Each structure stands twice: as structure tokens, then as C-alpha cells.
Amino acid sequence: MKHKKRIRVLYTIPNFNTAGSGRSVYDLVKGLDKTIFEPEICCFHNKGTFFKEVESLGVPIHLFPFTTAYRPWTTFFFRTQRIKQFFKRQAYDVIHSWHWSSDFSEALAAKMAGIPYVYTKKAMGWESRFWKWKSFLSSSVIVVNQDMMVKYFSKMHDKAVKFPLAIDTKTFVPMPASVPLRNQLGIEADDFVIVSVANLVPVKGIEDLIEAALILNESRIKVLIVGDHNNDYGLKLKARYQKDEAITFIGKQLDVKPYLALANLFVIPTKDEGRREGIPNAPLEAMAMERIVLGSDVSGIHDILEPFPSCLFQAGDVKALSYKIQAIKGMSQEDKVDLAQKMRLRVVDVFSIEDFLNNHQSLYLKLVG
């Protein structure tokens, strides 16, 4: 059905410092049917390595504070009115928030403006009472894994829908390792390279991966940690392990594909604590590039690796992870290729960008009637 007037969809996101949620917003803005939808973006500032790439899409990007602090409560509604007026002035038909926070001021402003509001619940966590308030004010809530549906939204089936996040499998494709990059990193052709992509914070469990690799004490095992380590935890981790020739801290990279191409194995060792991700992008990207993935058995990761239970390990169990690494390393080349190909097919079948776009477009059309 073609609408006479294109549906104006505003995507709100705090920043594009990383390409996590930002990549999902990018994919939506780029892929929406422009004969039906007219997307725009609103964020707090224009900083971040990914912002330039988002700018290249050529859609309007507003720099505006689309949330406000609760306190002082006496002026909260007055400050929320400013957000409402911005939404109404731009005449949006749908507002889709990718804000990670439980903040409900944006949802309230949209409600006051009479504009359907949807947010994507991307990370695990329900401790703040404001999540329920935000959900109550929303027209719909998009959740990204089954655990969220069961734990948080069992009484909101009329409002919550489950859409897995997606990977562009035409961008993330099997590709050969770069010989110059391999030489630059001091990696030999017969080394067994383990890659993990994560901004270094404790919940990511990167030290568990490093310890698991070191337990094996094999000179041919090399570990590449790709991600921002410029924080107290990351710097301490780097100082602790960087002298070991088997461990290399690559740092933050906008394009991770060349590093994934070096991998014989990708590991995501997320701990079962703190602010866990709902569906992490990095293992999907690795699988799309036909890399074998091992992951801790936590929410989101076990959604991704559901058909591959032998590739899951108990979060925080360093010895179990070392056994899994050794098992993958010891597989025949034929079995490795077969498993890697099945992992790519898993992404194509379940986490495709086409389904991701169709699901969102159908929801927007439903919201505007």
C-alpha cells in the first residue's frame, strides 16, 4: 500500500561514538523504502567516529537534547514541553528511540505530542522502575532476544514485539586475510588467531579469554583484542598482558572486517553480570564472514548460537573456554569449513537485513494506521 504522504520517522540516539546501535540506525535509514518513509535522525552531538558515515546518508540530522533530567521535579514538565514542541514542530509520524537508557522523558514528550513512540530494548537490565514507565508510555517496544520477552515483557504481549538485530551479509562476507596486516601484526601463516571485538569494560570478560588462551601455552595461538581500551579497566588490562607476545591490543577500529578476516576463531566471553547486551553485533559479523564463534551462555549470545550448543560455554569458566578453544583448534580443516559455513547461513536465515527492514516497516505502518 502506497501512502500519499510519506511517513516521517525520527530516529533518536544519544551519539555515534560507536557503530553498535548506530549501525542499526544507519541500516534502517539507508534501507527504508523512501517512497513510503521519510527518515530523520536526532542525536545529542556530532562527535564520534561513525558520525561522518551516518552523515553521508544525506538525511536531516538534528542536534537536540531529546531527553531531560527528572530533577528538579517542579520544572520537569516545563522542560519536557520543549521536547514535545520540537517533535510537533517537525510533524513526525513515528519516533523510534535507540537510547540505551530507561529515561522516560522522551517517551512522555512524544505522548504529549500525540506521536506514536517506539523504543528498542537492546540491552539486558530491568532494575530501574523507569523501564516500566517508559514502556507504559510507548506505543510499542521492540525487544531483541527471547529472554527479554520472558523476563520483562511477559505481561505486555500486546505491546512488545521481538525483532532480532541484523547484519548486512552483503557487507560482511567471507574474505581472505590481508598479508600486509598479518605481517604488520607479526602473525605467521600457520598461527591460530583468536579475535574478540569489544570495548574493554569488565562485563565483556576479555580477561577470561586471555587467561583461557594462556592456559593452553601454545606458541602458535595469537589473541587480537579489537576495541577501545582507553579507560581504567582497559588500560590496566593492557598493562597486565601487553608484554606477552601472544596478546595484541589493536584499539578501536571503525572497520573491523580486516581483523575478522585474520581470525581462525572469534570469541565473545561476556560475563553473566552487569549491563549485558541483548544481541551483540560482533559475533554476527564474524559469523557472516564465515568465522567460527565461541560464546558464553548468556542472554543474546545463546539466541545467536542456538543451533551450535557445543560452541557455548559457561560465563566466567576459564577452563571450559580453554577446552573449547582446543577443541576447535583440533578439528579437521574440512570440519572447520563446514561449521563456519553453517554459521554464516545462520546469520543469513535469521539475522538478515531484509527481515530487519521489513519488520520495522510493517510496525511503523501499523502504528500510523
Greatest extent of the chain over all pairs of C-alpha atoms, in Å: 67
Q: Quick one: pLDDT at residue 157?
A: 83
What are the grid coordinates assigned to 221, written together? 595461538
Measured distance CA(196)–CA(229) in Å, rounded: 13
pLDDT above 90 (res 268): yes
240 pLDDT band, cuts 50/70/90, is: very high
Judged by phi (left if over 0) then psi (alpha if -120 to 50, else beta), residue 227 lies in left
33-58 pLDDT, tens digit each: 999 999 999 999 999 888 999 999 99
- What average pLDDT is seen over the chain? 95
The Cα 286–Cα 340 span in angstroms is: 10
Cα–Cα distance between 335 and 346 in angstroms, integer? 17
The CATH code that applies to domain 179-350 is 3.40.50.2000
Q: For the whole prediction, is pTM greater than 0.85?
A: yes
Q: Check pLDDT > 60 for residue 103.
A: yes
Write the CB contacts of 209 (distance below 8 Å, at least 6 apart in sequence): 194, 196, 223, 267, 269, 321
**pLDDT attached to residue 19:** 63
Residue with the three cell numbers 552523515: 55
Residue type, 40: E
Read off the pLDDT band of 275 (50, 70, 90). low
CATH 3.30.360.10 holds for 7-166+352-368: no
- In sequence order, what are the residues at sequence separation of 6 or more whose Cβ sits closer than 8 angstroms to the Cβ of residue 55? 46, 61
- Domain boundaries of the chain, sorted by first residue: 7-166+352-368, 179-350
Is it true that 7-166+352-368 and 179-350 share their CATH fold? yes
CB-based contacts of 280: which residues, under 8 Å, 6+ apart?
268, 270, 300, 301, 304
- Tell which residue, 256, 341, 343, has the closest CA to residue 308: 343
Whether the pLDDT of residue 277 is over 80: the answer is: no
- Residue 96 above 90 pLDDT? yes
pLDDT digits (tens, 9 = 90+) for 1-33: 445 699 999 999 999 987 678 999 999 999 999
